[in-house]
C-alpha cells in the first residue's frame, strides 16, 4: 500500500491485550494454569478485565465517557463514514443483530460507532450515518487523543493513509467489535466475519447473564 502511513498509529492489537491479560492472570494465580479467555458465542472474553481509562467523546446522544458506558454492555466499532465496504457491512450486521434481540436483552446493550476520522466526520454527519442503519446504534467521535485513549484501552488499531490527489484518504482500522461490560471494563472482542444471527445469539447470551 502507500508507504508512510500518516500521523495516527495505534498498534495495540487485541491479541496483545488478551496475552497481557492472560499473563497478568497467571501471575495473580501464583503461576498455576493461566486463566483462559472464555468463548461465549462469537465473543472471546478476557479472563481479567481492566476498567477503561477516563475519556470523553461527543456522541450523537450526548457525551460518551468511561463512566457513562457503565450499566449496560457496550459494543464498540471503530470506523469512519468514508468507508465504503467494511463499515456499512458491519453496521448492517450489528443493526440486524440488535433488532433480533428480545426487548429486555436489547435494553441491556448499547452499540456505539466510534469515528476515528473526526476531521471529516462531524457529529451531524455521524448522526445521519448511524440513523440510516437504525436499531438505535449511536455514534461518537472527538479529539484524536481521546479517541486514541479509548482505542488503546481496548486494543483497537487505526491508521490514516496518505491522501490521494483529490485529498481523499482511506483509514485502516480494526474490523472487530470491542465489548465493554456493565462495570465499564474492557471485556473482550468479537472478531470478523460478523454474521447477524451469530452476533444476536452472542449478545443475547452476554446480556442474559447477570453482570459480573
Among 93, 111, 140, 179, binds other proteins (CB under 8 A): 93
User: In a 3-state reduction of DSSP, which class is residue 9?
Assistant: strand
Is 157 a binding residue for other proteins by CB under 8 A? The answer is yes
Q: Does the footprint of other proteins cover residue 125 (CB under 8 A)? A: yes
Alpha-carbon dihedral 171, 59, 200, 176, rounded to 10 degrees:
30
Q: How far is the CB of 65 from other proteins (least distance, A)?
A: 26
Q: Report, in Å, the least distance between residue 125 CB and other proteins.
A: 6
Assign 3-class secondary structure to 15-47: HHHHHHHHHHHHHHCCCCCCCCCEEECCEEEEE
CB of 147 to other proteins, least distance (A): 16
When asked if residue 168 is in the footprint of other proteins (CB under 8 A), the reply is yes
Write the CA distances from 135 to 17, 35, 98, integer angstroms: 30, 35, 6
Which range, of 56-64, 82-90, 179-187, 200-208, touches other proteins by CB under 8 A? 82-90
Instruction: Give the distance from CA 97 to its chain's centroid.
Output: 15
Residue 13 DSSP label = -
Binding residues (CB under 8 A) for other proteins: these are: 1, 13-15, 81-86, 88-89, 92-93, 96, 120, 125, 128-133, 157, 166, 168, 170, 172-176, 189, 191-196
Amino acid at each position: 500500500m502507500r508507504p508512510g502511513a500518516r500521523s495516527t498509529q495505534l498498534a495495540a492489537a487485541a491479541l496483545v491485550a488478551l496475552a497481557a491479560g492472560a499473563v497478568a492472570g497467571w501471575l495473580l494465580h501464583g503461576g498455576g494454569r493461566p486463566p483462559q479467555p472464555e468463548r461465549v458465542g462469537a465473543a472471546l472474553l478476557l479472563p481479567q478485565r481492566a476498567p477503561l481509562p477516563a475519556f470523553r467523546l461527543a456522541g450523537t446522544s450526548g457525551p460518551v465517557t468511561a463512566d457513562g458506558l457503565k450499566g449496560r454492555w457496550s459494543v464498540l466499532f471503530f470506523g469512519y463514514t468514508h468507508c465504503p465496504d467494511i463499515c456499512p457491512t458491519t453496521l448492517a450486521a450489528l443493526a440486524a443483530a440488535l433488532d433480533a434481540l428480545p426487548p429486555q436483552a436489547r435494553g441491556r446493550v448499547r452499540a456505539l460507532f466510534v469515528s476515528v476520522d473526526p476531521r471529516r466526520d462531524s457529529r451531524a454527519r455521524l448522526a445521519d450515518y448511524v440513523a440510516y442503519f437504525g436499531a438505535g446504534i449511536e455514534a461518537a467521535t472527538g479529539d484524536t487523543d481521546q479517541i486514541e485513549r479509548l482505542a488503546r484501552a481496548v486494543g483497537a488499531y487505526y491508521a490514516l493513509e496518505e491522501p490521494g490527489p483529490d485529498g481523499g484518504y482511506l483509514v485502516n482500522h480494526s474490523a472487530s467489535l470491542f465489548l465493554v461490560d456493565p462495570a465499564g471494563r474492557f471485556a473482550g472482542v468479537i472478531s470478523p466475519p460478523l454474521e447477524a444471527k451469530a452476533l444476536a445469539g452472542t449478545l443475547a447470551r452476554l446480556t442474559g447473564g447477570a453482570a459480573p
